[in-house]
Amino acid sequence: MSVNADHIVIFDTTLRDGEQSPGCSMNQQEKLRLAQQLDRLGVDVIEAGFPIASDGDFESVKAIASVVRRPVIAGLARACRQDIERAWEALKDASRPRIHVFLATSDIHLQYKLRITRDQCVAQAREAIELAKSLCDDVEFSPEDATRTDLDFLCRVLDAVVEAGATTLNIPDTVGYTVPTEFAELIHTIRRKVKGIEKVTISAHCHNDLGMAVANALAAVSAGARQVECTINGIGERAGNASLEEIVMAMRVRPDKYPYETAIVGEQIFAASQTLSEITGVPVQPNKAITGRNAFAHEAGIHQDGVLKNPLTYEIMTPKSVGVPDSKLVLGKHSGRHALSMRCEQLGYQFDRRVLDDIYRRFVRLADKIKHVEDHHLLELIRDTHKPTRTATPLIEPVIEGTSAAVVNAPPPEPEKRYAAAAQMNPFGAPVPVHPESQHEQTQQEDYLWGV
């Protein structure tokens, strides 16, 4: 695969490593549906599965290879004939097939898992790549547990597989053990020492056991890796893989630090996350960066007030840029009057200051009890408190009896004591002058003070 210097290849392994997370297995139809969404998302490579693992996985890889034609379709294989031939059988009809061969290289794995010597490891890796290369031009090699492998030995294995024809060298932090500075150093060393490295693409595959998968992947990119392996919602073995959406958006939001491009269509991120979650039945953690339901929700009054004035105050990217329909102002006990009056307006009601104060007091008491105040609660509260004038078509038709009582442009009444006291102090306890002409400003000021 030819890559330009600043283009980062996004290798999605949701269907392979991601599927290895408990509760995330998918059938063939589900895998195909997700693969089609990954195609719309614009990933460069889809690792569709591990064909030797089961007949189901084999059939899924085969189906994806024949239907999804734009991206490279990769299949995983251990470094042995049976696996490689099976992977090729599943992949051979793909428009752009890739065989991904892995073999552990750390002494712990060689000694306890594979029970082979270092010399045997080098020979097995070389033979496996020669075989894969005889079947397919595009061959990736992964030295499993690379970050716990003796550095000189790692370079020796990589020398051998490059010579045998590997086109991508993927460096896995299999157990999520490394840290960004160390991982960057490892990539630099590989670039310095491995013979023929300039002909191949270096890739990073990071697990999240210490919560550093994304930081490690980005560090690898800064050190010269040009492919990252990642998953939607960060699913994967144990604590998961580096999350695709976090890596991509880090590059988009901070091009000053990460001046790289990807082919990802940002507006398809949320759809990919939702599709995965719907298929697996595994919900996205609410505070998950980018795709969690709270990622663009603002509950604290100070935040709601700021976002209503200008989203840039508390949003570093627009919800739209990642396909989230709109940012949500969650009405709870931390909300301020600015957000409350905004929601009332969206429901079709506008209140003068005195009425809003009254509704706000009742709202805070209610929010203390029920956490999130939904629209129907608010409508009930409005009905119980006042008989307002409806100034717009409500989104939800409320049941309100009696005649209208709100006076939109009535002169502001005396603010209640607690607001008045608060409005005269700034957050550090210093007095704040209140502009008598600006009721709007005063409301905003009070939200700032009370809504934190």
- Binding residues (CB under 6 A) for ligand KIV: these are 17, 102, 142, 144, 170, 172, 174, 205, 207
Report if residue 299 touches Zn ion, rule: CB under 5 A. no
Q: Among residues 171 and 249, whose Cβ is nearest to ligand KIV?
A: 171
Q: Among residues 173 and 245, whose Cβ is nearest to ligand KIV?
A: 173
Q: Among residues 88 and 419, whose Cβ is nearest to ligand KIV?
A: 88
Which does residue 30 touch among Zn ion, ligand KIV, none (CB within 5 to 8 A, set by kind)? none
**Cβ at position 109, least distance to Zn ion in Å:** 13
Residue 228's SS3 state is strand
Q: Among residues 246 and 352, whose Cβ is nearest to Zn ion?
A: 246
Rule CB under 5 A: choose which of 8, 16, 17, 406 binds Zn ion.
Answer: 17
**Cβ at position 217, least distance to ligand KIV in Å:** 13
What are the backbone angles phi and psi of residue 328, rounded to the nearest 5°? -110, 135
> Please, which residues have CB within 8 angstroms of residue 119's CB and are 6 or more apart in sequence?
none
Report if residue 173 touches Zn ion, rule: CB under 5 A. no
Distance CA 391, CA 91 (A): 62
**Cβ at position 375, least distance to ligand KIV in Å:** 45
**Residue carrying structure tokens 């009582």:** 405
* CA dihedral angle for residue 415, residue 418, residue 424, residue 430, rounded to 10 degrees: -170
Q: How many CB atoms sit inside 10 A of residue 380's CB?
A: 16
Q: Which residue is nearest to Zn ion (CB)?
A: 17
Which does residue 144 touch among ligand KIV, Zn ion, none (CB within 5 to 8 A, set by kind)? ligand KIV
**Cβ at position 102, least distance to ligand KIV in Å:** 4
Determine contact, residues 303/450, Cβ cutoff 8 Å: no
**Cβ at position 23, least distance to ligand KIV in Å:** 18
What are the backbone angles phi and psi of residue 225, rounded to the nearest 5°? -65, 145
Distance CA 209, CA 216 (A): 12
**Cβ at position 145, least distance to ligand KIV in Å:** 7
Size of site (CB under 5 A) for Zn ion:
1
**Cβ at position 177, least distance to ligand KIV in Å:** 11
Which does residue 304 touch among ligand KIV, Zn ion, none (CB within 5 to 8 A, set by kind)? none
Q: Among residues 171 and 373, whose Cβ is nearest to Zn ion?
A: 171
**Maximum distance among all alpha carbons in the chain?**
89
> Please, which residues have CB within 8 angstroms of residue 67's CB and are 6 or more apart in sequence?
32, 35, 36
Token representation of residue 185: 């150093």
Determine contact, residues 23/58, Cβ cutoff 8 Å: no
* CA dihedral angle for residue 324, residue 392, residue 313, residue 251, rounded to 10 degrees: 20
Residue ranges in contact with Zn ion by CB under 5 A: 17
